[in-house]
Structure formats: structure tokens, C-alpha cells
Amino acid sequence: MKLEKGTKISHYKILSEIGKGGMGEVYLAQDTKLNRNVAIKFLSEEWSKDSDKLNRFIQEAQAASALNHPNIITIHGIDETEGSQYIALEYIEGETLTERLNNKLKFNEALNIATQIASALDAAHTAGIVHRDIKPDNVMIREDGIVKILDFGIAKLTEQKKPKVESEDATAVQVNTTPGMIIGTANYMSPEQAKGKEIDSRTDVFSFGVLLYQMVCGSLPFEGESPLEIIGSILNKEPNPLNESEIPSDLRKIISKSLRKERDERYQTIKGLLADLKELKEDLAIQEKLDKTVHP
């Protein structure tokens, strides 16, 4: 659905197109009631005509809108115009993690971003939502350093809307999905996702592990010249070795555990991974203070 500048949709005034993908178009708009900028995501005509995809779009938008977390993009509402469904979203000024990764991240910066992403995923999993497409393009970093996870467009609802996840050993949240359907981005797919198997919250753990590896190393753990080659590496090869002289052993352990091919061997919840990340940050902060004391 192509919209021109100045077009009014309900109380939203279209300002410009800011993105386009297979799922639809995204526009920058002005909320004329609250005098603020918002992003408007329209479902593509192809998706709108498919009743199953349309129902899933609505259901998942409603579920994501219930997420109230500082590191998850806010959904203001869902509506339709001329038969086209759209979502009104928080408009974020900043840069994507993809753009930030054009320059090598400082170690503390990478851990700060990673902790915020993991915190957001923990909130989503607790609410019964698995993102399924964690990648740099779906992470925005505001000018004040606040991280926002975007695009729950291919997220899946879990069987229990609000499962009680109390510890790392808790059973991972199971997902309602169709075996054989591969959804996600090749470089960040879990092995089970690449095989089209049923997935659960541990798929996000694997994708997060890929992202963490990339932020720390500046490269990807699994490589290939095509999506098929990348998937082959994910399924059959171990991650490219981490630099032992540059990366602390505790962080190497966190990344390694996140990237286990067998999901039963990974962190069973993102909550457990987040706890280890926070402990690592505290340890490094203490070490930095000690170093300054010894070498002022």
C-alpha cells in the first residue's frame, strides 16, 4: 500500500516512507492527537489476502503490544484502513546495531548492548513470545544508549501465554509452529530452526549467542557464500575459534554455551544467560577498579 506524504490515516499524518520489506511498508507519521512521531507498519497486500497470515499478524501484534519493557519497541495500536492492516509503533531515532557494527565495538559497549537485548528477550519469553529473528537489523540503539528490540513480525506465541520461568533449569517454553517451515535469517538461525523443526525459547538463545559473538569479535561464528552454505556450517561445523588473548574465559564460556547445536546443552532460558552476563560485567568492573588502583 503506497502512501504519499500528507496522507491521513485515522489521526496519523504520513510524513515519509522509512522502510520496505516482504511483510509490508513502514512509514514515519505524526500522531496529530499527541503531537509525536510514530512509525506505521502496513501489512503487504499478499499477507492481507492470506487469512492465516492475517490472523497471525493480528494475534502476534496484540501479544507484543502487551510487552512493557524499556528495551522492547512500544506498540501504540493496531487498526485497518481500506482493508489494509497496520500497526502504530514507537518511532526510534538512532542507529541499528548493523550500523554500529561498522566500527569495532569497545568491550564494555558490547556487553552493555548484549545485557539490554537479553533483558528484553527475558521479558518476551516470560510473556510467552519467542522472537525468532534476533539479528543486528532488528536492534536499534538510541542516541542515549538505550537499546530497543524491533520487529516481532515473525515472533511466535507459546502455548502458555505467561509461563512461570523461575530458573535456568526451568523447561524451555514450547512454541506453536508448523514443522517444515523455515523462518528467520540464515546467519542467526539455530540448528533446529534451520531444519524447520518445532522451536522454543532456546532458539532465541542461539541467535543471541551469534549476535554476542559478532559484537565481541567483529565477525560471524558461522560463514558461507550463500544461505545454504551458512546453514550447512551451522548444522555441521563448530563456531570459528574465539581469540583467547582478547576475550575473557568467562565470556568465551557464555558464548560457547549459547551456541551449542543441541538445545538441551544450551542455556535453558535467557534468564540464566542474562545472570551470567551481569555477573561478568560486575567482575570486569571490579577488575578495572583494581587495575586503576595498581596503575593510577
Distance CA 128, CA 132 (A): 13
List the catalytic residue out of 31, 79, 122, 133. Answer: 133
Helix residue ranges per DSSP H, 75-151: 97-100, 107-126
Q: Looking at the DSSP assignment, which residues form a beta bridge with residue 31? A: 12, 36
Amino acid at 222: F
Q: Residue 218 in contact with residue 101, Cβ under 8 Å? A: yes
Which residue spans within 120-275 are E strands per DSSP?
129-130, 139-142, 147-149, 156-157
Measuring CA to CA, how many Å separate 94 from each of 17, 97, 141? 17, 10, 6
**Cα–Cα distance between 37 and 51 in angstroms, integer?**
31
Catalytic, 133? Answer: yes
Name residues whose C-beta falls within 8 Å of residue 255's C-beta, 6 or more positions apart in sequence.
209, 212, 213, 216, 239, 242
Residues with catalytic roles: 133
